[in-house]
């Protein structure tokens, strides 16, 4: 990892979150090798996936406004969701990433989206299953990710949706669309 990038990320997101990003990158590389995907893109997208996750609610909203990010109702009521689109903008402006596929995988790594690319899927699920994640069902999803990427993402999204319902939190429409897309695709393959 480039020393300057490492120092800049640690300064922005802290060492703990940087170490999480390293674990996500390592998991994503393993998945990328399994699914024969561009490892260079995976490394960049995974290490930068949380580069927008470093501020309190007020600063997140201000930075989103400064970057022209439209904060929808879901983001307004769950500022945690802002860091994906904000991270995409920071990756583009601060870290000079021009590749749209990388930027979009950063943008949607928390919510997912309809018709996700392989890079989107790998960054999404690597973030969900990185080795320090520990919650009921994570081992099943970890194992499934290396057998059937779509099924692992579908299961992860369903667990997330159930959790959000249990916490009386808003579910982002992109997650619902992503899940529905995967269900339709899965049913068509039967």
CA dihedral 28, 33, 38, 43 (to 10 degrees): 30
Closest CA to 44 of 85, 82, 89, 101: 101
What are the two backbone dihedrals, phi and then psi, of residue 164, each rounded to the nearest 5 degrees?
Answer: -65, -40
**pLDDT tens figures, 95-115:** 999 999 999 999 999 999 999
Which tokens go with 140? 């099943």
pLDDT at res. 65 = 86
Average pLDDT, the chain: 93
pLDDT at 96: 95
By C-alpha distance, which of 57, 52, 65, 34 is closest to 110? 52
pLDDT in tens, 155-178: 999 999 999 999 999 999 999 999
Cα dihedral sign, 139-166-49-4: negative
Q: Which domains does the chain have, with CATH numbers?
A: 3-188 (1.10.3210.10)
At 63-107, the pLDDT tens digits run 888 898 988 889 888 888 999 999 999 999 999 999 999 999 999
């Amino acid at each position: 990892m480039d020393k300057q990038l490492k120092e800049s990320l640690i300064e922005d997101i802290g060492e703990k979150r940087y170490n999480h990003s390293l674990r996500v990158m390592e998991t994503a590389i393993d998945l990328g090798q399994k699914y024969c995907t561009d490892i260079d893109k995976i490394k960049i997208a995974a290490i930068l996936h949380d580069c927008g996750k470093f501020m309190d609610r007020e600063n997140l909203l201000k930075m989103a406004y400064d970057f022209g990010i439209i904060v929808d109702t879901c983001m307004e009521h769950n500022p945690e969701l802002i860091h994906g689109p904000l991270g995409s903008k920071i990756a583009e402006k601060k870290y000079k990433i021009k590749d749209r596929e990388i930027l979009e995988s950063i943008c949607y790594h928390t919510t997912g989206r309809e018709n996700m690319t392989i890079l989107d899927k790998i960054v999404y699920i690597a973030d969900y299953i990185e080795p320090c994640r520990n919650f009921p069902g994570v081992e099943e999803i970890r194992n499934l990710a290396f057998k059937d990427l779509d099924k692992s993402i579908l299961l992860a999204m369903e667990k997330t949706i159930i959790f959000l319902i249990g916490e009386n939190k808003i579910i982002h429409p992109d997650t619902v669309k992503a899940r529905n897309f995967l269900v339709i695709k899965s049913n068509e393959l039967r």
